[in-house]
Amino acid sequence: MSIIIKPIITEKITKEGEIFNRFGFVVDKKANKVQIKKAVEATYGISVVTVNTMNYRADRTTKFTKSGLISGKTSAYKKAIVQVKEGETIDFYNNI
């Protein structure tokens, strides 16, 4: 479970899940496609067809406010888009 950090639930990913059977996950930065495929298959009990990965870098921002300069940073992460076999699906809301 250390490879899959959390599922991504946005409007765009949800629409892709309904149309193309694609689901998004935030994964460990050092994980490769084979490890991600095995982790998703083991966790959800489904067959994975393809895995696409994207690395997002950390963004730094500086804001000018009344109290002075405020600098911030977003964290870097790796995102995986997993396409599931036709006819199978992942239900993220079954444990609610």
pLDDT digits (tens, 9 = 90+) for 61-82: 999 999 999 999 999 999 999 9
Which residue(s) pair with 52 in the sheet?
A: 81
DSSP classification of residue 54: E
| Tokens 């696409």, residue located | 52
* Exposure class string for 5-26: b at 16+ Cβ within 10 A, else e: eeebeeeebeebbeeebbbbbe
pTM of the model: 0.85
pLDDT digits (tens, 9 = 90+) for 2-42: 899 999 999 999 999 999 999 999 999 999 999 999 999 99
